[in-house]
Structure 1
Amino acid sequence: MNTSVLRWLLSPRTSWHAWRVARASHGNLTFDAAWRRTRINIHPDEKPYQRHGHLPNG
């Protein structure tokens, strides 16, 4: 299943806000980046997970 679809199903509020942020950026921000930014704004306690998946293995 596509990550974006999974995010819409599990967290529609965050996804709706992220979609609006990505659309307002006129292509300068991906939905994935907007989703992560929005998620931290709505749930600041999840800040440690923001960069998960973006760090090199090791």
Structure 2
Amino acid sequence: MRLSLTRWLLSPTTSWRARKLVAASGGQLDFDTAWRRTRLASHPDELPYQRHGHRAPDERRPR
């Protein structure tokens, strides 16, 4: 299952707000970035999870 579909199923309100943000940006913002921004605005306690998702693939692997 694609990540965007999973997000729509698990958090439809956040996904709807992210979709509106993408539309307002005129295509300059992708759905993933908009979803993370929207999610962080309503759930600031999830900042560590957002930072984890934006790491380069090499940094995600435990050493």
Per the TM alignment, residue 43 of structure 1 is displaced from its structure 2 partner at its CA by: 0.5
Identity rate, percent: 60
- Count how many residue pairs are aligned between Structure 1 and Structure 2: 58
More helix by share: 2
For structure 2, which runs of at least 5 residues remain unmatched after alignment? none
Q: State TM-score, norm by structure 1.
A: 0.91
Q: State TM-score, norm by structure 2.
A: 0.84
For structure 1, which runs of at least 5 residues remain unmatched after alignment? none
Alignment of 1:54 onto 2:36: no
Q: Work out which of the two has the higher radius of gyration on C-alpha atoms and give 1 or 2.
A: 2
Pairwise CA RMSD of aligned residues? 1.0
CA displacement, residues 18-53 of structure 1 (integer Å, 9 cap, x when unaligned): 000011000110000000000000101101111223
